[in-house]
Amino acid sequence: MIRTIAITKDQQLHKDLPLEQLKEDGIMWFWVDFSEPTPSETQKLDTVFQFHPLAIEDCIHNLQRPKLDYYDDHTFFVMHALNAKTLEKEEVDLFNGDGYIVTYHKHVCPELEQVWNRLLRERSFNVWDEFHVLHQIFDKVVDNYFPIVYAIEDHINDIEDNTKELSMETLLEQLFDTRADLLTMRQTVHPMRDLMYRILSSHRLDGVRERKEYFSDIYDHLLKVSELIESNREMTQDIRDSYMSLNSHETNRTMQILTVISTIFMPLTFIVGVYGMNFSYMPELDERYAYFVVLLIMFVIAILMFLWFKRKGWFD
C-alpha cells in the first residue's frame, strides 16, 4: 500500500494524492509511505523517485544493519523497530531529500502509524517538515524500547524473588531465555545508538543541525536504554551465579550426608564381615550372649561416631 501526505505552501494538508502530483509547484513538502508494498509498488522507488539502486536493494533485502548513506540528492536511513510481543527486529527504511521524506517498511509499524495519525490531526504545520517527521519517527521507535526493557527487568525481579516457588531448573531456563532477549535488545539498540551518533555528527543534514537538541535527546535515550540492558545482563549473571552456587552447595551437602552415613557403616561392615567368615573355630560363636554383645558394640560405635560428626558440625 502506498499512501501520501502533502503540505502545500498555503499550509493545507492533502492526503493520498497521486505520486505524479507531489512534485507540483504548490507542494511545499510531502511524505510517501510504502507500507507492506507489493513488488510493483516497490518498483516506484526507481521509476518515480529515481533513488539510488543500492538503497533500493537495501530496502528489498531483509534486516540491513542500521545505517546512514549519502547519495547525490537524497539521504538513506535504515532503522530497527522492535516488536513488543516477539522482540523481533523490524526494519524501517527512510529516504530524505529536499522537500520530501519516503518511508518503506514490510511490516506494520505502530510507531510510524502514531506519527502519521498525529500529522493528520494537526491544524498548524509551521513546525512540520521532512526533518520533523524524521525526528518523530526516530523518537517513537526509541521510546518503544523502554517498556520492553522494563518488562524484562520486572521478569528478572520475579525470577530473583521466585514467589511462585518454581524449581531451579525452571528458573534457570527462564533466566537463560531472558538473557537471550537482552542480547536481542543489545544487538538492536547499540547499532541504533551508533546511527544516531553519525546523524548528530553529520555536516550534510541541515535540518538535523537546526534541531540538534531534539536529536541529542534521542541519543540520550539510546544511551539510557543501553545502560539498562547492560545492568540487567549483569543482574541475570549474578542471579545465575547465585543459583549455580546454591545448587552446588546443595549437592555438596547431600554428598556430605552420604559420606557421614558411609563412614558410620564402615566399622559396622568390618565387624559383620569378620563374623561372617566361615572358620571352623571362632570362640565367640559358642558364647550364649555373643550375638547381643556384638550388636551392642555396633550400636555404641554408630552412636559415638554420630555424636562425633555432630560435634564437628557436619549436621548443622
pTM for this entry: 0.77
CATH number of the domain bearing residue 94: 3.30.460.20
Q: Which amino acid, 2?
A: I
Would residue 289 count as lying in a domain? yes
29 closest CA partner among 108, 99, 79, 104: 99
Residue 290 is part of which domain span?
A: 257-311
The 10s digit of each residue's pLDDT in 191-201 is: 999 999 999 99
Would residue 12 count as lying in a domain? yes
Would residue 165 count as lying in a domain? no
CATH number of the domain bearing residue 284: 1.20.58.340
Q: Which helix (H) or strand (E) holds 132?
A: helix 130-143
Domain count, the chain: 2
Instruction: Record the cell numbers describing residue 104, joined without a space.
Output: 518503506
**What is the three-class DSSP state of 76?**
strand
Residue 121 to residues 108, 125, 150: CA-CA distances in angstroms?
Answer: 20, 10, 30
Q: Which amino acid, 218?
A: I
For residues 169 and 211, give the distance between their C-alpha atoms in angstroms, rounded to a whole number: 51
C-beta separation of 220 from 200 below 8 A: no
Q: What's the whole-number mean pLDDT along residues 294-308?
A: 88
Would residue 53 count as lying in a domain? yes
- Per-chain mean pLDDT for the chain: 87
Give, to the nearest 10 degrees, the angle between helix 145-161 and helix 130-143: 10
Would residue 70 count as lying in a domain? yes
Would residue 223 count as lying in a domain? no
The 10s digit of each residue's pLDDT in 70-119 is: 998 899 999 999 988 888 899 999 999 989 999 999 998 999 999 999 99
Would residue 60 count as lying in a domain? yes
Q: What's the whole-number mean pLDDT along residues 221-242?
A: 88
Alpha helices in the chain (DSSP H): 39-42, 44-47, 53-60, 110-121, 130-143, 145-161, 168-201, 206-210, 212-275, 290-311
Domain end residue (candidates: 125, 151, 185) = 125
In the predicted structure, residue 182 carries a pLDDT above the cut 80: yes
Q: Which amino acid, 280?
A: S
Domain end residue (candidates: 125, 148, 183) = 125
The 10s digit of each residue's pLDDT in 20-72 is: 888 888 889 999 999 999 999 999 999 888 899 999 999 988 778 899 999 98
Domain end residue (candidates: 68, 94, 125) = 125
Would residue 239 count as lying in a domain? no
Which residue pairs, CB below 8 angstroms and at least 24 apart, start in 245-252?
Answer: 246/168, 247/168
